[in-house]
Amino acid sequence: MESVILCRYGELFLKAGNRRAFERILADNVRAATAEVSGARVEQTHGRLLVRVPATDADDAAGRLQRVFGLVSVSVARQVAAKEDLDAITAMAVEEARAAVARDRPASFKIEARRSDKRFPKSSMEIDRHVGAAVQAATGLPVDVHAPALRLGIEVGTDVAYVFAGKQDAPGGLPVGASGRALLLLSGGIDSPVAGWLAAKRGLALDAVYFHSPPYVGEKSRDKVLALGKHLARWQALRSVTVVPFTDAQKRLRDTGPAELAVVLYRRMMMRIADAIADQLEAGALVTGENLGQVASQTIENLTAIEAATRRVVLRPLVTYDKVETTALARRIGTYETSILPYEDCCSLFVPSHPATRARAQDAEKVENKLDVAAEIAAAVAGSERVAID
């Protein structure tokens, strides 16, 4: 037996000029998302994607498709030859209703029929009534047209009809890759994985860079970041994590500059190294989990001083989020439990309890001019290790 997963997308229609390219990328991403489901086949029809899978794999495939950006919702459907008339559709609807009753014990139902082929002899309202009566007789469920617990969808096309119980939300947004490529500064915290997810939702394909400072920061922190990378890859958001050795640069910055500038100096160095890595990966932008005012270092002045060190646009998807919103999203996307593991991050190394909140780029430059910044970047890039995430 075969199921057909109806994959709906919405926003793409707004972008009339790019629609074809977006649809192609979306179809590729849907194909990749279901590549491990044996026998899955993807078809493009007008304004929708269909994924055919063995019925036993349908829930697994639907779960994967619910993590594909660009899709708005999915429904696991059964196909009926529409030419066979209303009886076949009704029989299938009754079967689906029985299965839903056994699975979810809904308190009421409603038939929602749509007819795209107007040559079909019955109107949608007639289909609703006919099928509704049969489902009610077979299951004993009452009809509730306003707030039904079970929505049985029926779509009648030219050659085939689909029958499905309800729809499941997918994340929406744009297909990953449609907006190009960016480099995510991924730490082990709560914020940066969520920032990466939001960037991917806007169609950015990501690689990540992680600055690692052994022995002050342990291997567990590195493992944690790689684990977060895997979580993002479940959403097709991430391709690789580049682990950059950062201890030497940090120590030299610490030894050269005033303690209260340490965080800004570290972050400016991170930006420069990230730029060099982004050159290698052909990433057009940087993405960080920075926010406003959550920590003393994240003031407009400090963000300005940090951003002055990079050639690329820095995207900060979380700038309007408060911690409650970020945490809720981290839970939803599956990164939270990993993020709260108690391992240290290099940004807190050698940092005083009262860091500067109004750093100026020129003060940082005075410190940096005493160092060979280009050599610092080159050494960090040369010592870095790129880990493919799959």
Binding site for Mg ion (CB under 5 A): 187, 189, 345
Site string for ligand ATP, 272-291 (x = CB under 6 A): ----------------xxx-
Interface residue with ligand ATP among 124, 139, 294, 357 (CB under 6 A) is 294
Give me the residues paired with residue 181 across strands. 205
> How far is the C-alpha of 275 from the C-alpha of 315, rounded, in Å?
13
Residues touching ligand ATP, count (CB under 6 A): 20
Give me the residues paired with residue 315 across strands. 287
Instruction: Work out what residue 297 binds among Mg ion, ligand ATP, none; the CB cut-off runs from 5 to 8 Å by kind.
Output: ligand ATP
> How far is the C-alpha of 319 from the C-alpha of 293, rounded, in Å?
9
Residues contacting 184, CB < 8 A, separation 6+: 192, 195, 196, 199, 206, 207, 208, 209, 238, 286, 287, 288
Instruction: Work out what residue 22 binds among ligand ATP, Mg ion, none; the CB cut-off runs from 5 to 8 Å by kind.
Output: none
Q: Is 186 in the site for ligand ATP (CB under 6 A)?
A: yes
Instruction: Work out what residue 374 binds among Mg ion, ligand ATP, none; the CB cut-off runs from 5 to 8 Å by kind.
Output: none
Q: Interacting stretch for ligand ATP, rule CB under 6 A, among 99-107, 158-166, 344-352, 364-372?
A: 344-352
CB of 380 to ligand ATP, least distance (A): 12
Q: Is 211 in the site for ligand ATP (CB under 6 A)?
A: yes
Instruction: Work out what residue 294 binds among Mg ion, ligand ATP, none; the CB cut-off runs from 5 to 8 Å by kind.
Output: ligand ATP
Site string for ligand ATP, 131-170 (x = CB under 6 A): ----------------------------------------
Residues contacting 245, CB < 8 A, separation 6+: 212, 213, 214, 380, 383, 384
Q: Which is nearer to Mg ion, 163 or 225 (CB)?
A: 225
Q: Is 321 in the site for ligand ATP (CB under 6 A)?
A: no
Q: In this structure, are residues 61 and 5 in contact, taking their beta carbons and an 8 Å threshold?
A: yes
Neighbours of 124 (CB within 10 A): 16
Bridge-based pairing of strands 285-287 and 181-185 is: parallel
Q: Which is nearer to ligand ATP, 309 or 346 (CB)?
A: 346
Instruction: Work out what residue 335 binds among Mg ion, ligand ATP, none; the CB cut-off runs from 5 to 8 Å by kind.
Output: none
Instruction: Work out what residue 5 binds among Mg ion, ligand ATP, none; the CB cut-off runs from 5 to 8 Å by kind.
Output: none
Q: Which is nearer to ligand ATP, 229 or 289 (CB)?
A: 289
Interface residue with ligand ATP among 191, 307, 363, 368 (CB under 6 A) is 191
Q: Which is nearer to Mg ion, 70 or 189 (CB)?
A: 189
Q: In this structure, are residues 53 and 9 in contact, taking their beta carbons and an 8 Å threshold?
A: no
Residues that bind ligand ATP in the complex, under the rule CB under 6 A? 185-187, 189-192, 209-211, 288-290, 294-295, 297-298, 345-347
